[in-house]
Amino acid sequence: MADGFSANVQESYIGVGCNRSPYSLDWGLNGLVAFAACNSIALYLPEGEECAGKIKCLLSAHKQRINCVKWIANKNRGQESELISGAIDGEAIIWKLMEDKWCQRDLLTGHSGAIIAVSGITLDQDGNSRTIVTTSSADSTVRIWNRNGDKDDFEFVQMLNFDGGFAFSVAISNLPETKVPILACGCENSAVYLFTERECKFVLSLKLHGHEDWIRDVNFAHLDDDDVMLASCSQDNFIRVWRITKVTDLVDESGVIDENMKSLELTSNKFSVISEDVSLNYSAVLETILSGHEGWIYSVCWHPRIRQDNKFHQPLCLMSSSMDKTIVIWRFHSEAGVWMDDVRVGEVGGNTLGFYGGVFNPTGEKILAHSYQGSLHMWRKSESSESCSWESVSTVSGHFAPVQDIAWDPEGGEFLISLSSDQTTRIHAPWRRSGYKTTWHEIARPQVHGYNMQCLAMISRYSFASGADEKVIRLFEAPRSFVDMFAFLSQISDEN
């Protein structure tokens, strides 16, 4: 620089909230949480042994607001190295980890409306990898993209048209012990559409009926006995769990009709697939209907597979997130033979409107949810000899609308206040505690307003003025209780 002056600047803190849309957060087996933050994706590393958690970086390439993000799953249980994101301009981006840096790998275009949901999976077929990505859009279509290996680009292979309807959610998996992918689409007509691949094209195999309102999420899980569980949730406040089973002949080896299989034959929805020139029959049976929420259910998430006795085991455990401000963990009790709600966490009171989604961490010992107001909420399983409970833990936070103004502490610049169009004023400061690295966090929200905020000025360390669209300037002064709490958290003392 001029006159030999130079400065070393490094990033210390990112504070941002999650976008106000379903499917905008996902927790990968790699330990990273990806969530949509306006036009960017925030990669968040939750709390560890030495740190209370921080946003590692922002991935910025989208031109407009991001609606959904999803890690591309590996069926061999490997850690994810690719991520999908979809925006309101109809573009989807594939992000890939290259040399310890996340970069844009592919740009998927073609939709004429906003992308609503995305899903992807990498399959191992004859020693070669194959990645399938699906994108659902407000243009009433679902587009399917394919890539063979990991060096080629994604190729658009098929468009599924819903003739004016919408697929609000998509999930892709594979039928066990086959090379056949299966795609589930939850639609506005209260039906779940199941597509399977035949001759390199996805064909409609089955429609699952029962919900009475828009279906908001669908999710697959593979059981230990090679059955597939499909969970769907709806704005009718119910969750339906379907079991997809491979159907064998009704006649057993002795030539006698198996009565159990006969009963299954009469009550199930059946479809067939071709795998390696062999026709296989499957049935989809309604396993259970879960009732307990009092508001629209926006997401369902299966407990991750866990390692037991040197092999992976899929627990019969499901989590749901609802606009009734609760997260519920449902578990199948084999002794009673029924599904029951084991855990219920959430918010009490306030002016929030509930949760848009929730996910488990890779071990199932933590859950993370994002709410209508863009905030993240995390709970951790705490086991004792007498009971098992879930306790709230700290997480990152920030504005979910454009930041209009910021002001530093005038007496040393040890913290800052920000003001946003999300109608809040927030204080950001370092959190210092013994045994942990110092990390910056949102400490308080001194102002929650009814109008969009526009300007801010610090008067002293513990007082400020703010202005909003209502053309009124308000003055705020910190109470003694806040000053004491602030000094305890940030170790910032004030002689006055």
Cβ proximity of 111 and 139 under 8 Å: yes
Q: Is residue 55 part of a domain?
A: yes
Cβ proximity of 465 and 459 under 8 Å: yes
Q: Is residue 182 part of a domain?
A: yes
Alpha carbon distances (Å) from 264 to 192, 272, 455: 20, 15, 66
Q: Is residue 222 part of a domain?
A: yes
* Domain final residue pick, 393, 426, 449: 393
Quote the number of domains for the chain. Answer: 2
Closest CA to 319 of 337, 303, 296: 303
Q: Do residues 467 and 360 share a domain?
A: no
Determine the pLDDT at residue 454: 92
- Pairing state between β 115-125 and 73-74: parallel
β-sheet bridge partners, residue 263: none
Q: Is residue 11 part of a domain?
A: no
User: Within 13 Å, how many C-alpha atoms sit on residue 316's CB side?
Assistant: 20
Cβ proximity of 261 and 250 under 8 Å: yes
Q: What phi and psi values does residue 87 have, to the nearest 5 degrees?
A: -120, 175
Q: Is residue 17 part of a domain?
A: no
Name 384's Cβ contacts closer than 8 Å, sequence gap at least 6: none
Tally Cβ neighbours within 10 Å of residue 416: 18
Q: Is residue 2 part of a domain?
A: no
Q: What is the pLDDT along the chain (496 residues), one digit of tens a residue?
A: 456 677 788 888 999 999 999 999 999 999 999 999 999 999 999 876 566 788 999 999 999 999 999 999 887 667 889 999 999 999 999 999 998 899 999 999 999 999 999 999 998 877 788 999 999 999 999 999 999 988 788 999 999 999 889 999 999 999 988 889 999 999 999 999 999 999 889 999 999 999 999 999 999 999 988 899 999 999 999 999 999 999 876 545 555 555 555 554 545 688 989 888 888 999 999 999 999 999 999 999 999 998 887 888 999 999 999 999 999 999 999 888 899 999 999 887 665 689 999 999 999 999 999 998 888 999 998 866 456 789 988 888 999 889 999 999 998 889 999 999 999 999 999 988 887 888 889 999 999 888 899 999 999 999 999 999 988 999 999 999 999 999 999 887 765 5
Q: Do residues 422 and 283 share a domain?
A: no
Q: Is residue 170 part of a domain?
A: yes
- CATH number at 322 reads 2.130.10.10
Q: Do residues 419 and 357 share a domain?
A: no
Residue the block writes with tokens 């003001």 = 419
Q: Do residues 298 and 351 share a domain?
A: yes
* Domain final residue pick, 349, 372, 393: 393
Q: Do residues 437 and 290 share a domain?
A: no
Q: Transcribe 462-486 into DSSP letters.
A: TEEEEEETTS-EEEEE--HHHHHHH
Q: Do residues 426 and 343 share a domain?
A: no
* Domain final residue pick, 393, 425, 441: 393
Determine the pLDDT at residue 253: 52
How would you class 187 by CB atoms within 10 Å of its CB: exposed for 0-12, middle for 13-18, buried for 19 or more?
A: buried
Determine the pLDDT at residue 142: 97
Task: Report d(CA 161, CA 112) in Å as an integer.
Answer: 13
Q: Do residues 176 and 47 share a domain?
A: yes
Alpha helices in 183-250 (DSSP H): none
Q: Do residues 424 and 304 share a domain?
A: no
Q: Do residues 478 and 434 share a domain?
A: yes
Residue the block writes with tokens 């929730």 = 358
Q: Do residues 370 and 256 share a domain?
A: yes
Q: Is residue 398 part of a domain?
A: no
Domain that holds residue 359: 25-393
Q: What is the pTM of this model?
A: 0.89
Task: Report d(CA 302, CA 292) in Å as an integer.
Answer: 17
Q: Do residues 422 and 349 share a domain?
A: no
Determine the pLDDT at residue 47: 72
How would you class 472 by CB atoms within 10 Å of its CB: exposed for 0-12, middle for 13-18, buried for 19 or more?
A: exposed
